[in-house]
Amino acid sequence: MKFSIQSRNDSQSNELMGLAKNYLQDFGLILDELEPDIVISIGGDGTLLHAFHNHVKRLDKVAFVGIHTGHLGFYADWKPSELEKLVLCIAKNQYRVVEYPLLEVNVCNNSETTTYLALNEATIKSPSVTLVMDVFLNDRHFERFRGDGLCISTPSGSTAYNKALGGAIIHPTLRAIQITEMASINNRVFRTIGSSLVLPDHHTCTLKPVRTQEFTMTVDHIQLKHDELESIIFRVAKERVRFARFRPFPFWERVHDSFISNE
């Protein structure tokens, strides 16, 4: 089996990376940065986002697992002290693969479409003035959004930026995407729904600019550069992300341990 390791690049994560490489190679596993079967991310959830995007072209062939060198993460749920146990499980192939839904983002301009995949979310904001966007659900006009921006997230990303914006936490077995507002303008003249919307996997959300304005767009930690924009179409992607699971750690337990208490 071939493996690669993504480190957050702090001293603890790099030290652990060195140990993991030695252990895994002692068990006959081969280090292959380009075409690994398993990617071990050492750092935090943010590190796993980087690992995901480094291997986004071969998601059907790779499984991810995360060790947290800071606080417990959603993607990074192994402790550094469990490294030897984890290496043994990998070497003996004692894991199952769970798949989580992803968000597909299609940026359309002059009949050209660029497609991205997000593990957590995509955001669109206007850097200086109010963002004004027409929102279509399944090609029907739903609302004219005015506000700071919109966040479209995956179920596993619902605990990240989406949660900070007041969105719901969605179990990652649900194939859905969630649209959450950032400070919408609501008064007697302008109106948006005000609640987060959860779309199933056969629905689409399309955003169309109403006027010429500057946008900033992100896909996870990546800032996109698109000067002009006709529309952006969001849907549940046909691709999925695969996580190697070595033991049960139910999602709601991770939510509890991350946000309520881990005692």
From 213, 193, 221, 216, select the one nearest 205 (Cα to Cα). 193
From 42, 93, 50, 90, select the one nearest 68 (Cα to Cα). 42
Provide, rounded to whole angstroms, the least separation between the CB of residue 181 and ligand NAP.
Answer: 14
Nearer to ligand NAP, 101 or 157 (CB): 157
Nearer to ligand NAP, 29 or 155 (CB): 155
Residues ≥6 apart with Cβ < 8 Å to 20: 5, 40, 42, 83, 87
Nearer to ligand NAP, 45 or 143 (CB): 45
Provide, rounded to whole angstroms, the least separation between the CB of residue 25 and ligand NAP.
Answer: 27
Contact residues: ligand NAP, CB under 6 A? 44-46, 49, 70, 73-74, 76, 120-121, 156-157, 159-161, 164, 220-221
Nearer to ligand NAP, 19 or 46 (CB): 46
**Which residue number has the CB closest to ligand NAP?**
46
From 174, 156, 67, 163, select the one nearest 117 (Cα to Cα). 156
Pick the catalytic residue from 45, 60, 139, 257.
Answer: 45
Residue bearing tokens 């299609």? 106
Provide, rounded to whole angstroms, the least separation between the CB of residue 80 and ligand NAP.
Answer: 14
Provide, rounded to whole angstroms, the least separation between the CB of residue 67 and ligand NAP.
Answer: 11
Residue 101: CB atoms within 10 A of its CB come to 24
Are 184 and 194 in contact by the 8 Å Cβ rule? The answer is yes
User: Among this protein's residues, is 45 annotated catalytic?
Assistant: yes
Nearer to ligand NAP, 53 or 191 (CB): 53
Nearest-angstrom CA–CA distance, 166 and 187: 20
Q: Which two tokens stand for residue 53?
A: 């995007």
Provide, rounded to whole angstroms, the least separation between the CB of residue 249 and ligand NAP.
Answer: 14
- Max distance between CA atoms of the chain, in angstroms, equals 68
From 2, 54, 58, select the one nearest 31 (Cα to Cα). 2
Per 3-state DSSP, the chain is made up of helix, strand and coil in percentages (nearest 5) of 25, 40, 35
Nearest-angstrom CA–CA distance, 231 and 229: 6
Question: Which residues are catalytic, by number?
Answer: 45
